[in-house]
Structure 1
Amino acid sequence: MSIEQSQLANVLLAPIVSEKSSLAAEQDNSFVFKVQKSATKLQVKKAVELMFEVEVDSVQVLNVKGKVKRFGRTLGKRSDWKKAYVKLKAGHDIEFAAA
């Protein structure tokens, strides 16, 4: 594995499995991932193609702002993070093993 491939492997942090993301997977052949804050669309595309051996049609990224929460008397803030919607080309699919 080259240096570039190991950097791409670190771009994807985790898949997001929720009701909204599973609906997107069924209807739109899109999958949702939590990615590094510094990741670009091209890096996300290359990382998904490398890790899952599929062809990516498009990538949409969005920054999710952390919520302000109260911890006892003090106010705290959850950290911001980045989410990527990855649409696959027809005939390609990603299977997440249900444990």
Structure 2
Amino acid sequence: MADVKYYDVILKPVITEKSMAGMGEKKYTFLVHPEANKSQIKEAVEKMFEGTKVKSVNTQNCEGKNRRRGMVVGKTAKTKKAIVQLTEESKDIEIFAGL
């Protein structure tokens, strides 16, 4: 794997109804680098957001969807999602606060 720094691991948050419902249980969903593992994701969340302690990390590899434009057939890019569970005494993540 290439040298992935902690600030390259988390790409962007996932904002859906299901991910917003999980915020009540301190579960936050992020799109992450496809080659990042669970320990790298845990380290990145704890370094990027002060006062957070990660309890567990669940990951999901998502295959690209088939797309067609006229007669040309292709696929969208593969992605990887991570659902991060924070501990009870941990602070909430601020980027989700106003949503």
TM category, shorter: 0.7 to 0.9
The match for 2:38 is: 41
Runs of 5+ consecutive residues of structure 2 not aligned to the other structure: none
Aligned-pair RMSD on alpha carbons?
Answer: 1.8
Matches within 5 A, 1:17-96: 17-26=15-24, 28-53=25-50, 54-92=52-90, 93-96=92-95
**In percent, how many aligned pairs have the same letter?**
39
Whole-angstrom distance in 2 between the partners of 1:46 and 1:39: 11
Q: Which residue type is aligned with residue 32 of structure 1?
A: T
Query: TM-score, normalising length from structure 1?
Result: 0.87
How many residue pairs end up in the alignment?
94
Query: TM-score, normalising length from structure 2?
Result: 0.87
Runs of 5+ consecutive residues of structure 1 not aligned to the other structure: none
